[in-house]
Structure 1
Amino acid sequence: MSGYTTNATRRDPGEGCLTRAVLLPVRIVALIVVVPIRLVWDALVACAKAVYRWILTPLGRALAWLWKIFVVIPLRAVGAVLAWLGRYLIVVPAQWLYRVLLTPIGHGLAWLGRYLLVVPIVAFYRYVLTPVGHAIAWVARGIWAVVTFVVRYTLVVPLTALWRYVLGPVVRGIAAVFGAAWRVAGHVSRFVWRCVSTLFRWVFVIPFGWIWRTLVRPVARGFRDYLWRPVANAVRQVYGEVRRALFGAPRQAPPPVPPPAPSVTGAATGRHQDRRSPAGTRPTGDTYSR
């Protein structure tokens, strides 16, 4: 009791008067609620133990004894009686029937089957079918030998000799002649085509090439540079003026994005190109010819 009072009155380092004043009613209510519940629980446990020990256990033993006396022992007795009856009414007569009746009948049937079926069939196969089969096989081998002999010396040997000594040399000679003629024709064909190609080159290709380089190409270039391009530029300008007069000036395109700063070599090259082709004009034929 003194220990409980000491523990109850012990003060925690962070526990104040307000905390103790709040916790004290809670502890009293918990003690009032928990103690009756625990008493009821202990009483129920004691009653359950008493019922199990003094009522359920004797009742279970009594029921087990009754089950053994009125169910197990009678069933064992009935099983023993049925086993004895089955042995002396079914098993023993069946064994005697098998030993005294079925076994001699089976032996007799086996002896009859052996000497009425197996032995005659074996003898028939050994002394009738086997000699007849050997004779048929010998006759078939003789006929096959005669046929192969006749076919060999009436067809195969003459045809082989004909091919080896007559047709083979003739066919090989014809093939050799045709092969030599084909090779000679190939040489002649290559020589003829070489001559024709050389003649075509000297008669057509070289003169036409000289005419093209000397006459046609300078005339075509002069026509392109001094007639076609000026006329095309003039037509293009007239078309632009007519279109501008009819439909107005074309819509201005958005300003282009400025390119990155060029290097010194790129700037010099750009200035050189600007001097060679002013803005708003197209390069002339001399520029293309260069």
Structure 2
Amino acid sequence: MDLEKPASPSPPQQHDQPRGPEGCLVVAVRLPVRIVVLVLVVPVRMVWDALVVGGRFLNDAVLRPVGRALAWTLVWLGRVLFVWPFVGLWRYVIVPLGKALAWLGHVFVVVPSVWLYRYVLTPVGHALAWCARGIGATLAWIYARVLTPVGHAFMWVLRGLGAVLAALGVGIYAVVAWLVRYLVVVPAVWVYEWILTPVGHAIAWCAKGLVWVLSGIVTGFGIALYWIARILLVLPALALWRWVLVPVGRLLAVVGREIGEALGHAWRIAGHISLAVGRFLGTLFRWIFVEPVRWAYRSVLTPVGHAVRDAVLRPAAEAARSVGRATRQALASARESARQARADFRRMVFGEPRQARAVERREPTGRDTRTLGTSTTALTKD
């Protein structure tokens, strides 16, 4: 059981930072808080380390193999239930059906469409294009020879009428402009200068005075509310904050800081204590169980195993090998005897076998090999 933790760089602790001078209250709070926190944290740290070791052992010995087995089982079930049926459906149903539909579409749709386009639509389109070209040429001739001269004549007539109407319109515009100036514009300017402007100035002056009066009233009311709120709310709240909440907050901050530092200090000390206890338990387990088992294996089981090997197993293996060799020799002799009996029976029934006639080889044998100046054929042999 290994309870040692890997060494890791410890972050800079809060107590390592430089501090200012501490008061007697901080010193009086620190020692009892650290003692109480250490007494409370040591069992928690030891239980935590035991749970960590047990969790690691459970993860390595149970959860990881079970997870791998479950993963392999799920993969196999997924293949059996999903992959293989879909592969079979795709390979033996969808693909043949798609090929059949593609062949039917080619035969019943593509081929008739190509034939219709090539032998019906193309000739009809060429005929329509020829007719459209003829109609277009006719319409262009009508536009150039008939409509264009008529349009030019019509525009010449319209320009003449426009010139006559423009000459008449200039006189009418001058009369209308003189009437509008002296009947509408001049009276409107006089009304604006001598009636509307003085009335607007008077209304604006009255509005400014009213705004000044209202602003004075609102300012006085606001100043009164400000002083009332300052005296009844702000000053009591400021006194409460300055003389009650700030001292209490500082005291709570000191207590909280000391409790946090005490927890960190106690957690580190509990870690060392837990490590020492774990090492002690590991050493005790080794001396109570591991070392006796090792001594028994080395001092008792190993000599007994060697004696059994030398006195029983090796002679038994040698005897088994001897029996095997004798058995193989007997079987070989029996096979040879059976082979000789079959050969004798064959000679009695069919006679002696024919001897193979020696055939001269065309290629030389031995040291008489073919060279560039010699030959082994019958016609060119030296």
TM-score under structure 1 normalisation?
0.43
Larger Rg, first or second structure (1 or 2) = 1
Larger relative contact order, structure 1 or 2 (CA cutoff 8 Å, min sep 6): 2
Using the size of structure 2 for normalisation, the TM-score is 0.34
